[in-house]
């Protein structure tokens, strides 16, 4: 079976699993995703995007 859709991670999470889910889906380090959200939060709307993804993404298995 192929890759499933984008979901929040249940294994690789610090708060809600959004960054871990993105990292698992795209095959990159979750640290990079977390740093990107941090920097985007300083210079943009990272927190808003994170909360929206938290609401929209289903919890993974």
Q: Does residue 39 form part of some domain?
A: yes
Give the number of other CB atoms < 10 A from CB of residue 54.
14
Q: Could you tell me the pLDDT band of residue 1, with boundaries at 50, 70 and 90?
A: very low
Q: Are 10 and 45 a contacting pair, CB within 8 Å?
A: no
pLDDT of residue 4: 67
Q: What predicted TM-score, i.e. pTM, was given to this entire model? A: 0.83
Q: How far apart are CA 29 and CA 32, in angstroms?
A: 5
Q: Does residue 29 form part of some domain?
A: yes
Q: Does residue 2 form part of some domain?
A: no
pLDDT digits (tens, 9 = 90+) for 16-52: 999 999 999 999 999 999 999 999 999 888 899 999 9
DSSP states of 1-61 as a string? -------B-SSS-SSSSHHHHHHHHHTS-HHHHHHHHHHHHHHS-HHHHHHHHHHHSPB--
- Quote the domain boundaries for residue 24: 18-56
Q: Could you tell me the pLDDT band of residue 8, with boundaries at 50, 70 and 90?
A: very high
> Total domain count for the chain?
1
Q: Does residue 23 form part of some domain?
A: yes
Q: Does residue 12 form part of some domain?
A: no
């Amino acid at each position: 079976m192929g890759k499933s859709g984008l979901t929040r991670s249940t294994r690789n999470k610090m708060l809600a699993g959004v960054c871990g889910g993105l990292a698992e889906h795209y095959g990159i380090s979750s640290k990079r995703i977390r740093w990107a959200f941090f920097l985007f939060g300083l210079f943009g709307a990272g927190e808003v995007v994170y909360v929206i993804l938290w609401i929209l993404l289903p919890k993974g298995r």
